[in-house]
Structure formats: structure tokens, C-alpha cells
Amino acid sequence: MPLIKCENVSIGYEGQTVVKDLNFAIEKGDYLCIVGENGSGKSTLVKSLLGLKSVEKGRITFGDGLRQNEIGYLPQQNDTQKDFPASVYEVVLSGRLNSRGFHPFYTSGDKREAVEKMELLGIRDLERQCFRDLSGGQKQRVLLARALCATKSLLLLDEPVTGLDPIVTGEFYQLIRRINRDSGIAVVMVSHDIESAVEDATHILHLQETALFFGTTEDYRRSRIGRKFLGGVHDGNDF
């Protein structure tokens, strides 16, 4: 049973279908990058994976013990730049709420988990700082720690490096690679940055309403569509 399986999935807004007949599946420990132009349906798909938007047709199923409310989600950066009057520790700890809905008290296990994740991501020294005072890169680390508190098997990241400078972006990608490699947590990342996507991901879903390509990164590099978008070597028969 795959970790996520999308079968003939169509999703739309008020009668207009924006994702059509989509099929793909990922397994435990995979690293999937979802690429595609603006408006190709990436964020819509993310909403349905999170259970925030129902599908019109087809179905999305989860395996390997994963429940939809146990996905570690890191939203688009624009959504998280608000003046958020909470400490780093509180933000990270709030990831524990995801898996069981609202709960006014945190357990000692929740607190241990939050400290562990802050240590893992090298942000323990920031724990008492106010989230809104942090740099963009620090905020993303905090939100990543929060997402890790919410899951044991899947991180879902929507354009996580938007607005970050190249060095911080590189460090963020490195962190995601390390988490994926060391903990076996699967990663699904929506990305504009197709060049970096093929460096890190094991699988690529190239979305344009439906899957223009889904498969391993290696096959994507060799495919017609992959070579076109990567601006790679042409063999004279293409396009």
C-alpha cells in the first residue's frame, strides 16, 4: 500500500475543473517534487492532499499508517509572514495540535518532542524569541520544526524557499535532504525551482492540469518533457 495514492483525481472550483484525471503514488521515504507553471493546479492539489478541499472525481488514499491529519505541512511563506505574537517554542509546540484537533493542554511528551525538533534543526537557542522578529530563513526552520512535530511519515512543503536568499535556500534544501535521508520521512515539495528539484527529489510530478510527467527523477531527466523544461541537451528529434 503506497503512502499516498491518487487515482483518477479531478478537483475544481465552482464547476471549473483545474486538476483532471491525475494519477500518481508515492512510497515511504520518497522525495517528490511537484513542478509546473503558475496556475497549473499545484496548490489546489496540496489542499486536497491535506483534506481541505474535496475531490470532484477519483480518490486519494493514504497507506502505511499515515492519517490525513498527521501530515507535517509547511504553508507558502506569504501565508506565514503575519505578525505572529508567539515564541519560537510555542510555534513549534503547536505542531502537536494537528494530529488531534484542538486540545488546551500539551503533554510532557509533546514538550519533549518540540525540544527534540528544535535541537534537530539547530534552533534551540531561539526558543524564547518572538517568531515575528526572526529572519525569513529562521522562520522557515521554525515552521519546519513545527511540521515535524505533526508527523512521523510525511512532510508537505508548498514553495518553501520563496523570498529566501540563495545561501539560506541552499541550507534549507540541505536540511530537507538530511531529514528525508536520515529519518525516512517522505517529502512532497511544491517548487518553482525545477533545477534544484531534480538535484534532490527521487520523483517528479510535472503538473499541467494533469500529469505531464510522473516518475523517477532519472526518467524525468531523460524524458522529452524533462529535457524541455530543464533546458538540457537536445538530440535533434525534439520539439
* Residue whose CB is less far from ligand ADP, 151 or 191: 191
Rounded Cα distance between 164 and 31, Å, is 21
Q: Contacting ligand ADP (CB under 6 A), which of 15, 38, 102, 128?
A: 38
Q: Contacting ligand ADP (CB under 6 A), which of 6, 43, 113, 176?
A: 43
* Residue whose CB is less far from ligand ADP, 20 or 139: 20
How near is the Cβ of 204 to ligand ADP at its closest, in Å?
Answer: 15
How near is the Cβ of 79 to ligand ADP at its closest, in Å?
Answer: 13
**Rg of the chain taking only CA atoms, in angstroms:** 18
Q: How many CA atoms lie within 13 A of 236 on its CB side?
A: 0
| Assigned C-alpha cell, 109 | 511528551
Rounded Cα distance between 97 and 153, Å, is 16
Report the phi/psi class of residue 12: left, alpha or beta, with left for phi > 0 and alpha for psi in -120 to 50: beta
Q: Contacting ligand ADP (CB under 6 A), which of 2, 10, 18, 129?
A: 18
Report the phi/psi class of residue 103: left, alpha or beta, with left for phi > 0 and alpha for psi in -120 to 50: beta
| Assigned C-alpha cell, 146 | 513545527
50 near ligand ADP, judged by CB under 6 A: no
Rounded Cα distance between 12 and 47, Å, is 11
Total binding residues toward ligand ADP, as defined by CB under 6 A: 10
Stretch that binds ligand ADP, among 37-45, 144-152, 176-184, 225-233 (CB under 6 A): 37-45
- Is residue 112 helix, strand or coil? helix
Q: Contacting ligand ADP (CB under 6 A), which of 42, 96, 139, 146?
A: 42
* Residue whose CB is less far from ligand ADP, 38 or 108: 38
Site for ligand ADP, rule CB under 6 A = 13, 18, 36, 38-44
